């Protein structure tokens, strides 16, 4: 497969997944902002969302105050923000248009219709009237795109590059969400030696909102069958290979699909991906928490970014230095 074609497919999938994850994070913040809480706590939640996407600087240059309206406007409709939903859906559609010949008709029409319908919704007052349903629509269109892709495309290199892009992006976003939300809700020393985690009253609504943001609330109840504990939330979203949005599940998919497209120069990238998967496979949550969740997730994000660079170097159009 031509590297430029693989590049468009990889980034089409990444941008679609990024739009969905942005909608998920905005939705959980919007829902928790409706709970009884202080103004400082609400502002902290919106600042945390900007921190997840590393957009605090660009946001502060355009808006004077951090609040629900300004952050949602910046993350949904601001075309100068490369991580906004409008920018992601436009980029996904443009990448799909560039490789229409490598896609099935259903896959292309789903991407194109998503973009056209999104523009129509933005032109109306649908987003302002019901942000929750708007975010659900974005998530549904991402689910539809992924389902049509897997259900109609030949299982060849094109599909493998789409899958690699999807799960690399998902791993990155899950790690960012975990890192920022645990710092905000649990604090730096929550899991440290001598902490009072066993007697700390867990804020059920905030932790359940985090689980719902990754479609994990019902899964948590099925797996653990007890009250929501932060350490169990971390275990579910990091180490459970049967949880679709966990770090372990994402890395399983990345490695599996990388093996299917491996070439003579991708050996080192595949080795690093396999090692990262093995580290998650044999990790224990108590050991991770004892050494520091933030440090572990920071290292994970660095390694995922390194994998992205390696994949671009080995298969795609190389990233600009």
Low-confidence residues of the chain, pLDDT below 70?
A: 1, 185-203, 318-321
pTM of the model: 0.90
Cα–Cα dist 204/186, whole Å? 13
pLDDT in tens, 20-73: 999 998 988 888 777 777 777 778 888 888 888 888 898 999 988 888 889 999
- Contacts for 256 with CB less than 8 Å, ≥ 6 apart: none
Q: Rounded CA gap, 8 and 147, in Å?
A: 19
Q: What is the pLDDT of residue 104?
A: 96
Q: How many helices (H) and strands (E) does the chain have?
A: 16, 0
Element (H, E) at 147: helix 131-152
Joined together, the tokens standing for residue 250 give 């994402």
**Which of 161, 114, 118 has its CA nearest to residue 12?**
161
Task: For residue 202, give the DSSP letter.
Answer: P
Structure confidence at residue 193 (pLDDT): 43
Label residue 148 left, alpha or beta by phi (over 0 means left) and psi (-120 to 50 means alpha).
alpha
């Amino acid at each position: 497969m031509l590297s430029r074609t693989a590049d468009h497919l990889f980034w089409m999938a990444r941008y679609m997944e990024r739009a969905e994850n942005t909608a998920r994070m905005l939705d959980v913040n919007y829902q928790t902002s409706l709970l009884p809480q202080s103004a400082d706590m609400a502002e902290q939640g919106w600042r945390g969302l900007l921190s997840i996407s590393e957009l605090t600087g660009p946001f502060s240059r355009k808006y004077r105050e951090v609040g629900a309206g300004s952050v949602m406007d910046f993350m949904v409709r601001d075309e100068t923000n490369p991580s906004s939903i409008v920018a992601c859906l436009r980029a996904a559609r443009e990448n799909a248009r560039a490789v229409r010949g490598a896609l099935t008709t259903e896959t292309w029409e789903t991407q194109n219709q998503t973009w056209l319908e999104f523009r129509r919704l933005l032109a109306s007052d649908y987003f302002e009237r019901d942000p929750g349903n708007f975010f659900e629509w974005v998530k549904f269109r991402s689910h539809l795109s992924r389902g049509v892709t897997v259900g109609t495309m030949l299982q060849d290199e094109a599909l493998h590059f789409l899958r690699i892009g999807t799960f690399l992006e998902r791993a990155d976003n899950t790690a960012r969400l975990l890192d920022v939300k645990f710092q905000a809700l649990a604090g730096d020393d929550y899991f440290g030696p001598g902490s009072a985690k066993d007697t700390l009253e867990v804020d059920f609504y905030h932790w359940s909102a985090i689980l719902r943001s990754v479609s994990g609330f019902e899964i948590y109840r099925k797996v653990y069958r007890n009250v929501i504990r932060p350490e169990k939330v971390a275990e579910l979203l990091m180490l459970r290979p049967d949880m679709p949005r966990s770090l372990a599940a994402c890395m399983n998919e990345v490695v599996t699909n990388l093996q299917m497209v491996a070439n003579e120069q991708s050996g080192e990238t595949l080795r690093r991906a396999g090692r990262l998967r093995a580290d998650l496979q044999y990790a224990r949550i108590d050991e991770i928490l004892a050494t520091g969740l933030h440090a572990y997730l920071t290292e994970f994000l660095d390694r995922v970014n390194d994998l992205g660079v390696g994949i671009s170097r080995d298969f795609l159009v190389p990233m600009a230095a």
